[in-house]
């Protein structure tokens, strides 16, 4: 049975193209390579195994630190202040780790049709020429917007298509291999805070491990009549885990501090990781560099931009029909790419229970309308472009 035969009611709210809204939401038909949970309320990057690996790489040594090293230190000092400070740092690290992973980085909604270019699917597939650039003017500055042949949209300035998540992301910075997610406009500050607290936590672990070994060896030397080798052997047997923590924290501190300092320089210059790696502004000053204070304010202390769209947005009948009939996934270079997760679109059956009348209070019509297609273009004339 064809999908168009199953959608027959005219009672539903309609988008600007007069296509009835269905009971299907965006996340049910396409999420890129990201993972979506709780019916679209929660999303994260495609590499959740790396997120879990990062979580255990931080928390397993920290559990040893708190349970043994810090406990022995605090009992020796008869003061648990250091223990609680370390615990608070660990909680903050985990908080910002998961905020980085689960906050939408600024994913732009893709479209399964080519009307925005005035082209057909067949002409797009057979034309070897690159898609045209769209020139936009914002005050005295002009911008060239690149067309993404995967998402079928003109990307705003500084946005890029992530090959890892298969989505276009606003102010794309990089794909973090630690978190397994993209870092962009909306979650960069959480990534920076994560690095900040890890940079503090690492030397804290290093100092705690060294101090624990020192007091352990001093106690053995004072209480036992042993030679130097005996003191070393007995001391190591009692605090070997602190030595492992010292080694672990040293390499962790070395790597994270370099990364943290690198991002301090990027924020101060007003550029992204992608722009730095591509050497975009080597010979000239970045037009987004607003000075040291404004750069830091916009990156870390400004209001978080609203998400471009929600995975819970309802799809119109027209969008579902086109997703099933016209949708082809393309690499960012324009080559056709087939993925198994798109095969389900051909077998997708509309559940009539989801085609009940939907109250207009339950959703925003603009989120599924033609206006949404141009949201990234409209935003160019706003003040937000200065923060990007």
Higher per-residue confidence, 339 vs 137: 137
Q: What is the DSSP letter of 139?
A: T
pLDDT single digits (tens) 187-227: 999 999 999 999 999 999 999 999 999 999 888 888 777 77
Q: What's the domain range around 179?
A: 3-387
Q: Which of 54, 168, 176, 239 is catalytic?
A: 176
151 catalytic? Reply is: no
**pLDDT per position as a tens digit, 293-346:** 999 999 999 999 998 888 888 776 666 555 544 334 433 333 333 333 333 333
Residues 351, 342 contacting (CB under 8 angstroms): no
Confidence of residue 19 (pLDDT cuts 50, 70, 90): low
Query: What pLDDT does residue 14 have?
Result: 43
Run of H or E including 285? none
Question: Residue 314 is inside which H or E element, if any?
Answer: strand 314-316
d(CA 58, CA 247): 14
C-alpha span between 171 and 106 (Å, rounded): 8
pTM above 0.95, yes or no: no
Residue 133 clears pLDDT 90, i.e. is over it: no
Taking the C-alpha atoms of residue 176 and residue 255, their distance in angstroms, rounded to an integer, is: 14
Separation CA 355–CA 140 (nearest Å): 49
Question: How many structural domains is the chain composed of?
Answer: 1
């Amino acid at each position: 049975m064809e999908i168009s035969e199953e959608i027959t009611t005219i009672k539903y709210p309609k988008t600007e193209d007069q296509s009835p809204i269905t009971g299907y939401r965006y996340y049910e038909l396409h999420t890129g390579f990201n993972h979506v949970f709780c019916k679209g309320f929660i999303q994260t990057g495609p590499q959740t195994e790396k997120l879990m690996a990062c979580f255990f790489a931080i928390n397993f040594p920290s559990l040893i630190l708190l349970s043994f090293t810090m406990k022995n230190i605090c009992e020796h000092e008869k003061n648990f202040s250091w223990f609680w400070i370390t615990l608070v740092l660990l909680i903050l690290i985990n908080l910002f780790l998961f905020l980085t992973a689960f906050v939408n980085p600024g994913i732009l909604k893709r479209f399964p049709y080519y009307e925005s270019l005035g082209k057909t699917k067949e002409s797009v597939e057979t034309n070897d020429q690159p898609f045209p650039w769209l020139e936009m003017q914002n005050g005295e500055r002009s911008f060239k917007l690149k067309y993404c042949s995967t998402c079928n949209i003109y990307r705003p300035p500084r946005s890029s298509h992530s090959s890892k998540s298969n989505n276009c992301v606003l102010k794309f910075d990089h794909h973090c291999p630690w978190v397994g997610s993209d870092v962009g406009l909306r979650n960069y500050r959480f990534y920076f805070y994560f690095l900040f607290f890890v940079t503090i936590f690492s030397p804290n672990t290093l100092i705690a491990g060294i101090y624990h070994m020192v007091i352990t060896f001093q106690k053995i030397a004072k209480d036992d009549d042993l030679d130097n080798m005996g003191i070393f052997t007995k001391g190591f047997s009692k605090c070997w885990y602190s030595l492992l923590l010292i080694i672990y924290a040293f390499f962790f501190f070395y790597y994270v501090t370099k990364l943290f300092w690198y991002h301090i320089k990027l924020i101060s210059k007003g550029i992204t990781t992608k722009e730095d790696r591509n050497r975009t502004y080597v010979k000239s000053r970045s037009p987004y560099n607003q000075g040291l204070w404004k750069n830091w304010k916009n990156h870390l202390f400004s209001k978080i931009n609203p998400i471009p769209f929600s995975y819970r947005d309802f799809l119109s009948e027209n969008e579902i029909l086109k997703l099933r009939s016209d949708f082809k996934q393309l690499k960012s270079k324009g080559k056709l790419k087939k993925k198994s997760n798109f095969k389900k679109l051909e077998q997708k059956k509309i559940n009539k229970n989801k085609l009940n009348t939907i109250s207009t209070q339950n959703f925003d019509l603009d989120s599924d309308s033609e206006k949404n297609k141009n949201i990234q273009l409209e935003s160019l004339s706003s003040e937000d472009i200065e923060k990007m």
